[in-house]
Amino acid sequence: RWHVPLALSDEVGEVFFDSRFDEGSRIMNKEGGRSAAAQGEKTRIRVTTLDRFAKRHNFFEGAGIDIIKIDAEGVDGKVLAGASSLIQAQKIQVLVWENPISNYPLTIMLENGIRKETIESFEGLISFLDRVGGLECFMPFQHKRVISLRYWKDALFEPENTKLRTKLMRGNPICIHRKKLPELVKVFYEMSSDFIRNQVPTS
């Protein structure tokens, strides 16, 4: 069991956390807040990316990482952006993060930094994870049901579906690698709401 004193983001460096709060750490800024600095109420934390952490600990070898769960108090998008190589190498079997992400656009580095892709929205992120990472994404729905975001992401963002979209955005997306865990993907489709399951393509 590890306890690693690191923060994760899309860049390497350090940040300061406000030590006055107990209900989850709060990032102040890279220099630290003035009042907290004067009162000695800041904690300096080293920052790295998931890609660098994974490379250092040989997570790119073999099957990769079984599950990644991100809950980064609103900066989940930056943590995801820092895992671009893991996503491209399809080394993540299950990915969960806390929604909504508040820091779009995200800049994703591709092909070892040769090319970059800008993700402007939630829909774009789901498409990227599907297209590049081989990850099939679902969103928890009511009565222990889920919605496949692969087939329904476009419909969910139509104006007439505003209420449904607002409700769904309170949930945390669950993305599963469709080739490495096909049986789990099948289970999630079996959990899909009836009005969606009956219209999901079979191919």
- pLDDT (tens digit, 9 = 90+) per residue, 7-52? 899 999 988 776 665 555 555 555 544 444 444 577 788 999 999 9
pLDDT in the model for residue 194: 52
In degrees and rounded to multiples of 5, residue 112 shows phi and psi of: 55, 40
Out of 57-61, 117-121, 130-134, 193-197, pick the least confident: 193-197
Classified as helix, coil or strand, 182 is helix
Q: Which residues contact 146 (CB under 8 A, 6 or more apart)?
A: 138, 139, 140, 174, 188, 191, 192, 193
> Treating both helix axes as pointing N-terminal to C-terminal, what angle do 149-156 and 122-133 enclose, rounded to 10 degrees?
160
What percentage of the chain exceeds 70 in pLDDT? Answer: 73
Alpha carbon distance 94, 173 (integer Å): 10
Tokens of 34: 């003035």
* Cα angle, residue 66 at apex, residues 65 and 72 outer, rounded to 5°: 75
pLDDT in the model for residue 37: 44
Instruction: Check: pTM over 0.85? Answer yes or no.
Output: no
135-194: per-residue pLDDT in tens? 999 988 766 778 888 776 666 666 666 776 776 677 789 999 999 999 999 888 888 755
